[in-house]
Amino acid sequence: MTVSNARKGHAAVGLAAVLAIGVAAGAKADPLNVTYPPSRALPDIARWLGNDTPLQLSQVVDVGPSAVTAVTSSSPTGSPRGFKANISAEALDPAIGRQEEIVSWTIPVDVDCEKRQVRLGDMTGYPSRDLKSAPRIVRSADNAWVSPSATGRGSTLMYSAFWPRSSSIRSWRKKRSSP
C-alpha cells in the first residue's frame, strides 16, 4: 500500500466515523421521533400543520420562533365579559422536544375583556403531535389574573380576540385565499 492509498484509507475511515457519529447524533437529537416543518417559511409551516398536526390553519393565531399557537375552541363567559379559550401549540424548535420532552401542549385560558386580563390553567404537554398521547402537567394553573404585555406571547390571544386582523398568519391566510 502506498502512502497516498493509506491516507485515502484513513480519510475514508475518518469520514465513515464522522458520518456514523452524525447519524447517531441526529437520531439522538430527536428522541421523540416527530416531524418539524422543512423551513420557517409560512407555506412550509402551513403544509406541515395540515399534514402532521391536529391543528387547523384557521385556528392559528401566532407563528413565533419556537412554536405555532392556535385557539382550538372558545366560549363566552358572561360576567365578567370575556371568554374561555383552549390554546394549543406545536413546537417549531426541536430544542423544546429535547429539553422538555414535549412537542405539543394545551392551556385553558380565561379572558376578561373588560380588564384585558388573562388567567392560565394547567399547561399539559405531549411527547407526540396528536394532543392526546401521554399527557402530563408541565406547569400548574395560576389563579391570578394578569395583564399580558403588548409584546409577550400571552398577548397573542388578547390581540387576536380584540383585533383579529392584526395577526400576521390571519393576514397571510387572507392573501392565500384571495384569487
Phi and psi at residue 141, to the nearest 5°: -60, 150
User: Taking the model in full, what pTM does it have?
Assistant: 0.69
Mean pLDDT of 41-67: 94
76-86 residue pLDDT tens = 988 778 999 99
Beta strands at 82-91 and 117-120: parallel, antiparallel or unpaired: unpaired
Q: What integer pLDDT is reported at residue 93 of this predicted model?
A: 92
Answer with the residue of higher pLDDT: 109 or 24.
109
Query: Which residues fall within 8 angstroms of residue 130, CB to CB, at 6 or more apart?
Result: 54, 104
The strand pairing partners of 163, in sequence order, are none
Mean residue pLDDT across the chain: 76
Percent of the chain with pLDDT over 70: 65
